[in-house]
Amino acid sequence: MTLQPPDFEPMFRPGVRYRIKDGEDDPRVDAVVEVCDAGRLYLATGRLVACEPLWVAGLDPFEAAFSVTVPPGRYPVTVSLARFEEPGDPKIPPQRRGAAARLTVRDEPVARWQPAVRPDHDPAAVQAGQVDGFAVSRGTGAFLDASALAALGPLSELGPQGQDPEMDEVILEVMDKKVVNLVVDRAADLNVIMFDCGLGAGMYPVWLGRTAAGEPACFVADLELLSRHSSGPVAD
């Protein structure tokens, strides 16, 4: 089976309109693409991890990072947001939901896409149409370097009452701003870029785009709001 990636290009083009379909009995609504500059992610080791920041304790950096590495450095991250206008009442602010997150390695066109896989992936699973993804339970995803897992871990530790006030505060900020660039180790200059997952809980696939020369161009986390819950871009 040949895996078919979503058409990511219009998802990162501001102003593109999608027709969202929530279900057979629900009225279809339009969402307009907004693109948010999330800043630059420092990949100190060049090994990218995509995960939910709440559950990083115990993750093995080697197994959590994708197999394809890039030169260490700072790479821009952009997040595609779907903006839903509230009909009939201009006083109600539009609702925004995360649709996709992209880390750009090279500013070159993508010639082909392939699933981003981890070292422990099962080749048979890829052949069966499964893409390595990351599980989300509280609607927040993140890109980070493998070396930042240890620094992010303490933020996810539960307190004596079974609460996690520090991470709760960060997640609330993500819910409000949709994107948060959080420094987790100032001495090492490590940061984590967190983004809203518009569909909430789920398993979200990550794709690797390659240039015509075969070099990594970008990683894209498909948050599936536009790829699976729309009928595609609306023609002007």
Strand 95-104 vs strand 73-84: parallel, antiparallel, or unpaired?
A: antiparallel
Per-residue pLDDT tens, the chain, 236 aa: give them: 456 899 999 999 999 999 887 655 455 678 999 999 999 999 999 999 999 988 776 688 888 999 999 999 999 999 999 998 766 667 778 889 999 999 999 999 999 999 999 987 766 666 555 677 899 998 999 999 999 998 887 776 554 444 556 777 888 899 999 999 999 999 999 999 999 999 999 999 999 999 999 999 999 999 999 998 888 888 76
Do the beta carbons of residue 79 and residue 33 sit within 8 Å? no
Count how many domains the chain has.
Answer: 1
Task: Give the domain range for residue 138.
Answer: 9-233
What is the pTM assigned to this prediction? 0.90
Residue 4 lies in a domain: no
Neighbours of 72 (CB within 10 A): 14
Residue 83 lies in a domain: yes
Q: Check residue 229 and give left, alpha or beta (phi > 0: left; psi -120 to 50: alpha).
A: alpha
Do the beta carbons of residue 147 and residue 45 sit within 8 Å? yes
Residue 227 lies in a domain: yes
Residue 2 lies in a domain: no
Residue 58 lies in a domain: yes
Residue 219 lies in a domain: yes
Task: Give the distance from CA 73 to its chain's centroid.
Answer: 19
